[in-house]
Every structure is written in structure tokens, then in C-alpha cells.
Amino acid sequence: MGTAVTISGSNFNSTPANNTVKLNDLPAKVLQASSTQIQVVVPEGGTKGKFSVTVNGSTAVSASDFTVTDFPDPLAIKGLFVQFERRGWPSGYYPGDIVKELNSYDTVVGQRVSGEVALQLDEMKKINVNAIALELRATDSYYSGDFKPPDCNLPPSLGLLYPNPTGTELINLVQLFDLINSKQIKIILWLNNTHMEEQPPNNNAAWLTAILNVVKNHPALELVCFGGNTHLVDSNGDGVGDSCGTPAEAPLWLGPLSVPVQYVKWAIQLGLSLGVPAAKLSAEAVVGNYFVDAEPGAGPEATDRHLWKTTEILKWIFDDLGIAENERTYAISIYEHRKCFNPNNLDVPCTTDADPDAWADETLQHIYETIGRNGSRVIAVEMGLYQADPNWSTSQAFESLIRRFKRYGVAGGCFWRWTHFMDAENNDATLAMPVKIRGWSFQYTAVRDTILRIYQ
């Protein structure tokens, strides 16, 4: 598939009809044509060059190069991944505490938690942010102080009580949505559940249903991403769960028959049955990882004992559920780094490296080659720089991604992140820059100016 573009101002020897043209020696189908204008599908990655049109055996060559222009106003989502700062405290508000304590007075910040959230939302609006990503986890009713098997404790501060959120949690969640909506900001809501293996999934259904029923019709809801993992995972391949499942994006790379992928498919189906529009239901596909995309061998939890390309798996879920292509939202996580950078310690050779900008382009090209161009929406629910790089700044990574989004028609995304979660992170030289510098005053990194300029 390719990008539909209109090429104007070229001289033709005759009026083109429904013929095949050549763009940089690659075939492209003519969509519309006249004596002064021709609309074609340019192969992914094509940007400019001369082309020829053959009509009744006669070939006419364009007088000037064509240029592929940006998609019109493509950035519907101008977002941030948000962990609200508890200004004056060494760490930020945990997401569950935001919900539970929304109407409580916080002596640290000198106002209600809702007031502090509103203040920070106002600061985000100043740089034209219109969406934020928020995460809520399925939590225990207690805090053991230890995230290890067999309990794999997730304390109440991290989300909503599993399997039955409390009445206060649900009421306050709606009030939080109301507050964010009052700032004309949309919400991408992550619901991360580390009980994916439960059968029958009665507790999973109870937790998700309670949450979805109170937010599904809310005007602030942009998208729900189903994430998490099984309670225990097999870390050494012996078939026995021995470590805690990570409460983050679902490991779609485990393939179509894996427990997490089957859970995501079931959760989307549940959302549909509750009346949530298909376009608001998705899961996060981690893209741009060369080593995962090479589909190396893996343990018994992976389908056919190898890893899978995540965009293909998300497409498989939508296909299997019969969701129309123009009702799909592909949620992706894309962080810029060099192509051969390997955070996974997989023994996969990478012989042809590429810089972060080129690798991001190649990644997005592959996404659209996989999903096609039939009306599906792509949102980068996480995006940014993977880690500090002396040769590639956070601002450069953000600008590179937005430029590529415009080129390919990505709807936008949520930059990681508003601020570091802990004071200690301010001095961690390996981390990419956030927008706000932690502290009582509203001081910012250079990323803020870049976002302000691009999110106009």
C-alpha cells in the first residue's frame, strides 16, 4: 500500500487516463487525472522525483519533480504521558492515589489533590496539549512492600482494587475524567491487569466491566489500552511460572495463541459487548525493536516458541474479531534509538545499522505495509527517546517522530513524559528529558519549547 497524494503543476503531452505510472521506478496506481493534475498512490517511503505517464502507447514525462506533502492537519492527538508531580515531595502522586485522594486536602501542596492536578493540566494546556495517557493497575487491598512470587503484590496506590473497585474509586474516577475534560483534554486510559490467566475470567470481567461502565460514554475518553500479563511468568523456559508478570503493555510478541494475546482479544470483545466503540479499544504494540521483529526463539509461553511482530498480532486480533478496518485504532509504543541498539540481550545479529531518524521511518513504513491504508487509525500512546544519547537529543527525537507521523499519517501520540517521578531521577544521566523539571516552581527543559512549537 502507499500514500495517496496529488501532484500539481506538471505538464503532460496528453490527458492521463487510468494507467500505470512509474515513480522512482516503482509502480503506482493512478486514482484521478486531468491535464494539469494527477493523483496517485506513492509507494511508502517515496518522497520526490520525476515520473512518466503512458497513454495509448505514448509516454509523457513530468516537467518537474513531484513532492509528497504532509497529510493535512494530521496531529489530532497532541499528547503527554502523565504522572502528576506532588510538588514539594520526593516522589509524585501514584495513579491510584490520584483517584482515591482526589477530593482530599494535601498539606504538602497546600490544596486539594484535584486543585494540584488542575494546576498542572493548565500548564500542559499552555503548550497546546490536548490528550494525556494515564495508567491504572489491578491492585491488591494491601501493601506487602515486596513485588515477588507468589503474591506479586500490587499496592492500592497503583490503581483500582481487583476484582471489584470500590464505590469511592469509581465515583472519583468519573470526577477525575470530568476535571480533565473541563480542560478540553482527552484521556488514553491504560488498564493493566496481571491476572490474565484466570479461567473462567469472572474476576477479570468484574474489574473491567466496573471501570468501562463508568467511563465508556464520557466525552474525555479517547482510547482504552488493555495491558498487563499473567500473574506469574516462566523466566527460564522450564514451563513453571517463577517470576511476576509485568504490569505494563501486554506482551503481544508472544504470539496469537499466548495467554496475554487471548486475554486482549477477550477484553476487546468484552468492551464491545458493553457498548464501547471499537475505535476506542486497543492494546499497545511495541514497535521499532529490530531484535523482537526478527522473531527469535523463545520459551514455552510463546506461540510456536518464537517471538512475533506486535503490529501483525494486533491486526490478527482485529481481523479475528471482524472489526472493520475504518473502526480500528492501532496503539503503538515507539521510542527512537539506533536500529542495532539491543535492550533485550537476544542473540540476533544486526549487521546494517541506521540512525534513529532513519530507523523510525523504516519502522512506520513497515507498520503501514502491515495494516494497509483502509481507514485505520494509528496513535503512538507512548513516544520519545529510548534513553539519553550524546548524538541525539530528546528534542530531536520528538521532532523526528512528529515529522514522520505527518509523512505517514499517524494521528499523533503521547510524549514520554510530563516529569520524572522521583527527585533522584533528575540526576540520572541515562534518562531522556521530561518536559517539567521536578520542583516547586514550574521550570522546564528544552523539550517544552520544542513541543510548544510543534503542537501549535
Task: Tell me the mean pLDDT per 10 residues along the chain, length 456.
Answer: 40 37 36 46 49 50 50 80 97 98 98 98 98 98 96 98 98 98 98 98 98 98 98 91 96 98 98 98 98 94 97 98 97 98 88 96 94 92 97 97 90 97 94 97 97 95
What's residue 35's pLDDT? 44
What backbone torsions phi and psi does residue 326 show, to the nearest 5 degrees? -80, 5
C-alpha cell belonging to residue 278:
471499537
Say which DSSP state 158 is in.
G
The span from the CA of 421 to the CA of 89, in Å, is 10
| Burial (Cβ within 10 Å: 0-12, 13-18, ≥19) of residue 370 | middle
Say which DSSP state 249 is in.
S
Task: Determine contact, residues 58/13, Cβ cutoff 8 Å.
Answer: yes
* Peptide bond between residue 201 and the one before it cis (omega within 30 degrees of 0): no
C-alpha cell belonging to residue 374:
483502509
SS3 131: strand
CB proximity list for 410: less than 8 A, separation 6 or greater:
74, 364, 378, 379, 380, 404
Task: Determine contact, residues 204/269, Cβ cutoff 8 Å.
Answer: no
CB proximity list for 394: less than 8 A, separation 6 or greater:
384, 385, 388, 432, 433, 445, 447
The span from the CA of 307 to the CA of 164, in Å, is 34
Alpha-helix runs per DSSP H in 31-166: 95-100, 113-125
The span from the CA of 126 to the CA of 456, in Å, is 10
The span from the CA of 34 to the CA of 275, in Å, is 45
Instruction: Name the residue type at position 427.
Output: N
Task: Determine contact, residues 413/379, Cβ cutoff 8 Å.
Answer: yes
The span from the CA of 67 to the CA of 88, in Å, is 51
What's residue 74's pLDDT? 67
What's residue 41's pLDDT? 47
Residue 237 backbone zone (phi > 0: left; psi -120 to 50: alpha; other: beta)? left
Task: Determine contact, residues 321/265, Cβ cutoff 8 Å.
Answer: yes
Return the CA Rg of the chain.
24
| Burial (Cβ within 10 Å: 0-12, 13-18, ≥19) of residue 232 | middle
The span from the CA of 196 to the CA of 263, in Å, is 6
**Going by DSSP bridges, is the β-strand pair 131-139/77-81 parallel, antiparallel, or unpaired?**
parallel
Burial 241-276 (b: 16+ CB within 10 A, else e): beebbbbbbbbbbbbbebbbbebbbbbbebbeeeeb
The span from the CA of 336 to the CA of 359, in Å, is 8
The span from the CA of 33 to the CA of 396, in Å, is 39
What's residue 7's pLDDT? 43
Task: Determine contact, residues 17/55, Cβ cutoff 8 Å.
Answer: yes
